Structure 1
Amino acid sequence: MEINTKLTKPITETKYLAAENSWRYRPILRFFYLQYEKIKYWMYKEEVYEELKKHEIFKEYTIDQCKQDLDVLVEWGNLIPVQDTSKAATVEEFKNKQFRYQLSEYSVEIERMTIKLENLFVEGASLEPTLFERIKDEIMKLNSMVNADVKIVGAWWRDLNTDFKRLNQNYQDYIRSFHSLKAEELMKTREFIAYKDAIIEYLREFVKELQKTSYTIEEMLKNLQDDTVKKVLSKVLEYEKSIPRIDMEIPQDDLYENIQGRWINFRNWFLGTGTSESEVVKLFEITNEIIRKITRFASQIVESRNSAANRKEEYKKLCEMFLACKDMDEAHKLSSLAFGIFNTRHIKGDITRQTDSINSGVFDEEPFVIEVKPRVRNYREKSSRNPIVDKTERKQKLLEQYIWTREKEQEVMASYIDQSHIEFSKLPKIQSHVRTTLLKWVGKAIASPYHTAKTEDGRIFKLILPKKGERCILQCEDGNLEMPAYIIEFGKVGGEG
């Protein structure tokens, strides 16, 4: 893929599709497009306004709003304005600038696209086996195109590209429909059985035609001479150059690159490349997989239907046998034969029994209700609603306690500072929290490039390493710690000393 400025720049002409007032912009451009198809290219704002006022949604629409909307569409590049001076009878009318508006080329293509999107599900896609036959006939004509007239070569090239484009797009759109969620759900329903045979027959006919013609096309493409192809493509280039284009002039190199790229894509579609297989092979595999998928779903539906029908008859017969039992004891015996021994479930709870006998059965006890909770992951008991308690006073006390504790800790740490220094080798016996703070400072300073750091209260210090690897014993209330004889110096920053 080549990334250039054409690909990276934003397309402002599409803004009207999703802008805030798109409900006004889209009808305006659709009206311009419909008039464009009727060979009416230029229109005044009054014509646009009169057309919109015919519809209920534009009941409150004004001519000033119409002018503003047209100006916005001009700014985005959707409309091209031209001042009409033919009707100006006075200087004042000339200054007011009566404009005629024309649809830009980008807008024409965008509107064509939106119309296609609006009718996408109505038109649908299909597989056309005859396209393979037509493409084969056009490839057979390639050798004769060397000596043919430029116009005949141009028409041949257009037919080949049109058929190939239809084949490629139609098969992709049709195959994609089988991989949608809607298709997956439909294939699992019983109504799908009615369409199964018709779809499979349709796909098989396509595969047969594909097998019949694709191998012939592949052989023909392999036997084509490179010189012949180059001569034909050169004639196609001559034809494209002969088409007069008023709006722009396309460089010859770009034209030939486009023609050659189309031919390479066409050839690779049938023959593949050195690193990947052809689209024909992929199409064979995908189509066969869809046929297998449809058959598998259909067999599952039929099997489930038959299984359900048989099981239904069995249950009806079993119910009749239970109804025919004389008493409960005979029903118990029938149940043991039909269902076997049931899994025992022990229920623990504060249950008041009528008897303490261990020989009494379930049917001898009085019935009672036990509430059980569902065994699902997303089940949660309904939480009781409690009012929000005001904890402002408690928070304030905790804050004051925290500030008092911090101040005390700072006073204790300040008591160990001797002339802006803390020498670990000269420290007296210290408490455990003092040791924790000192080691935290040491860790922060060692991690710094210049062995500098900042305390919790904002004081900057530097850690001085022992010059000759001197060590010391740091005496604490809960034990002694052997460590390097560090010196913490407050008030100096920077330097790698």
Structure 2
Amino acid sequence: MRKNPDLQSLRGVPELKYVNADNVTRYRAIMRLIYQQYQKLNYWLKPEFIYEELMKWKLHKNYTLEQCQIDLNQLVEWGNLTAQHDGGERVVTVEEYLRKKFRYLLTPYSIEIERMLESLESIRGYGGSLEPTLFDKIADTLNKVSGNAGIYEPGEALEYWKTLINVFQTLHETSVDYIASLQTGMAEELMATDTFLLYKDSITHYLQDFIQALQRRSYKIEGRLHRITTGVRDIFFSAVMEDEWLIPKLEQSISKEEYLSELQDKWSSLNRWFLGDEESISDSVLLERATKEAIVKVVKSAVRIQEKKRSSISRKKDLDHLGKWFYNINELNTSHKLAAYAFGLFQSRHLQGEDIRGSDSKEMSMWQETSISRTIRSRSRKKNERQDSDAATDNSKLKKQFREAFLIKQKQELQFLIQMVTVRTINIAELGPISSITRLQLLDWISRCNASSTSSIQTSEGVQIEMNTPLGNNRTLLRCVDGTLELLNHNFVFTVMNHKAWEGQVAWLSAQQ
């Protein structure tokens, strides 16, 4: 987990005062000029050079060198600049001797502030993108970390670490920004116009492709993270620290303990993003949900626009022509066909009832089915007249019938299982005519074994059933009392794993008989 902030990290930031000071234009101009020179590898600047360059921008008409020097001193006081005595120039007058000359350099805080301000100027929205290839880069890097067996070339571990963290940060920031861009007011306004229909398909396909890549490739990353044990991770961190400390740094740097703590925090963030923790689900699952919600939003907006366009079109002439067409038809079947072509399926309503079919023939029309009577309760807010409640229905006889039928089925299934355990191994071709209950039981075993990675299951009676597919996929006929079924000639092996549970089931069956 990320460590809690200390008092030093929560201090005030005097380096930001120049952004909102009274003479903000002068301070910002000086800082932007020194920052541009810093990017050109021109680090230490003299006041005269700064003043001359500022005057070329023509931002201040009555600006003097003395005012520029005062502004530079103020920026030094705020911690934005570092001043160094310039002893390289010869002193000609007493005044120059008494007045020390300095050179100025940006502090690390100011460099990051100017970078941030420069990037803020180019922001035109959330931006972002959904890049599925970033998942592959993370998975490949994790594979290299786990596959090197703790042996790294000089600089290799640090390269893996930088690639992993940079790609992970890019994935998180760009994906979150892109999803957020679909929630802005500008996006809402666009989704309400007809122009949005031109973008609907491309946005939907873009989001769907990302979801498919996220679902397929995030599991690969989860598997790589599970495979990297604590020992492998610690060896990798040690190699990263060695590579980092091989880089000579003249400025004061953090200790190895603090650097190791940063590595562990970033690694925990990576694990939490893909695997989650005990308190919350992973961020990858949240991203998948947000992407699906964005797809639903896009589709609903497109449907709303289309419905609005259709509602504004008058269909009076069309309906008048269609009504005359129906009026001139003399046959009912022809009217049904015309209604199907003109209106399609009507809006369905789900009504509860018992489907009593008189025939299983698929050729039988729905118009020939027996109607089902169903009393529909009114949805009106008007209070209905009070009705007397009926007495509770006694279903004890029906429950007894269901219980007896269930016991009969359970006995037959257990008797068949006891026969199979006695035989221990058998092919489907060796089975004689079986009942419908036994057929369903056998098909249930086949279905569960096919779904198992080991092609074996264990029943509640404590019996393990292992299914073997025949060589050459030989097929056979399973004879049942209600018909014949063709299927693969599977071989089953029955083994009692829990003898106590099995003996209890056998004893129960004996007591029932």
Alpha-carbon spacing, 1:149–1:163, altered in 2? closer, same or farther (3 Å): same
Instruction: Give the TM-score, by structure 1 length.
Output: 0.61
Indicate the residue corresponding to 1:160 in structure 2.
164
The letter of the residue matching 2:37 is Q
CA deviation after TM superposition for structure 1 residue 49, in Å: 1.1
Indicate the residue corresponding to 2:195 in structure 1.
191
Distance 1:38 1:123 in 2: 30
Distance 2:306 2:317 in 1: 17
Indicate the residue corresponding to 2:144 in structure 1.
141
Indicate the residue corresponding to 1:80 in structure 2.
82
**1:375-390 → structure 2 map (5 Å cutoff):** none
Indicate the residue corresponding to 2:108 in structure 1.
105
**1:471-486 → structure 2 map (5 Å cutoff):** none
* SS of alignment partner, residue 141 of structure 1: helix
CA deviation after TM superposition for structure 1 residue 10, in Å: 0.5
**1:273-312 → structure 2 map (5 Å cutoff):** 273-310=277-314
Distance 2:224 2:255 in 1: 32
Distance 1:5 1:247 in 2: 23
CA deviation after TM superposition for structure 1 residue 79, in Å: 0.8
Distance 2:61 2:10 in 1: 41
Alpha-carbon spacing, 1:249–1:312, altered in 2? closer, same or farther (3 Å): farther
Kept after mapping to 1: 8 A contact 2:146/2:227: no
Indicate the residue corresponding to 1:462 in structure 2.
none
Match of 1:250 among 248, 254, 264: 254
Distance 2:154 2:317 in 1: 77
Distance 1:98 1:132 in 2: 55
Match of 1:8 among 7, 10, 17: 10
Indicate the residue corresponding to 1:19 in structure 2.
21
* SS of alignment partner, residue 7 of structure 1: coil
Question: RMSD of the TM alignment (CA)?
Answer: 2.0
The letter of the residue matching 1:127 is L
Distance 2:316 2:32 in 1: 59
Kept after mapping to 1: 8 A contact 2:76/2:82: yes
The letter of the residue matching 2:168 is F
The list of structure 1 runs, each at least 4 consecutive aligned residues, that deviate by more than 6 angstroms after superposition, is: 311-314
Give yes or no for the alignment of 1:130 onto 2:128. Answer: no
Q: Which runs of 5+ in 1 are unaligned?
A: 315-497
Distance 1:4 1:312 in 2: 74
Distance 2:305 2:207 in 1: 21
The letter of the residue matching 2:227 is N
Indicate the residue corresponding to 1:208 in structure 2.
212
The letter of the residue matching 1:200 is T
Alpha-carbon spacing, 1:312–1:180, altered in 2? closer, same or farther (3 Å): farther
**1:268-417 → structure 2 map (5 Å cutoff):** 268-310=272-314
Distance 2:36 2:126 in 1: 20
Q: Give CA deviations for 1:114-161 in whole Å, capped at 9, x if unaligned.
A: 111111227931111111111111111012341112411111111111
CA deviation after TM superposition for structure 1 residue 313, in Å: 7.9
The letter of the residue matching 1:192 is F
CA deviation after TM superposition for structure 1 residue 24, in Å: 1.0
* SS of alignment partner, residue 8 of structure 2: helix
Indicate the residue corresponding to 2:59 in structure 1.
57
Q: Give CA deviations for 1:344-377 in whole Å, capped at 9, x if unaligned.
A: xxxxxxxxxxxxxxxxxxxxxxxxxxxxxxxxxx
Instruction: Give the TM-score, by structure 2 length.
Output: 0.59
* SS of alignment partner, residue 102 of structure 1: strand
The letter of the residue matching 2:77 is E
Match of 1:223 among 223, 227, 230: 227
Over the matched positions of the two proteins, sequence identity in percent amounts to 39
CA deviation after TM superposition for structure 1 residue 57, in Å: 2.4
Distance 2:13 2:163 in 1: 31
Kept after mapping to 2: 8 A contact 1:150/1:236: no
Distance 1:31 1:226 in 2: 49
Query: Does 114-123 or 139-148 show the bigger shift?
Result: 114-123
Indicate the residue corresponding to 1:67 in structure 2.
69
Distance 1:276 1:183 in 2: 30
Distance 1:312 1:56 in 2: 69
Kept after mapping to 2: 8 A contact 1:74/1:81: yes
CA deviation after TM superposition for structure 1 residue 228, in Å: 1.0
Indicate the residue corresponding to 2:264 in structure 1.
260
Kept after mapping to 1: 8 A contact 2:139/2:221: yes
Distance 1:35 1:169 in 2: 30
Structure (1 or 2) with the larger CA radius of gyration: 1
The letter of the residue matching 2:166 is T
Aligned residues: 316
Indicate the residue corresponding to 1:95 in structure 2.
98
**1:442-481 → structure 2 map (5 Å cutoff):** none
Indicate the residue corresponding to 2:326 in structure 1.
none
Indicate the residue corresponding to 2:441 in structure 1.
none
Distance 1:59 1:271 in 2: 60
Q: Give CA deviations for 1:471-493 in whole Å, capped at 9, x if unaligned.
A: xxxxxxxxxxxxxxxxxxxxxxx
The letter of the residue matching 2:136 is E
Indicate the residue corresponding to 1:38 in structure 2.
40
Indicate the residue corresponding to 1:360 in structure 2.
none
Alpha-carbon spacing, 1:54–1:123, altered in 2? closer, same or farther (3 Å): farther
Indicate the residue corresponding to 1:114 in structure 2.
117
Distance 2:225 2:8 in 1: 34
Kept after mapping to 1: 8 A contact 2:168/2:270: yes
Kept after mapping to 1: 8 A contact 2:126/2:181: no
The letter of the residue matching 1:232 is F
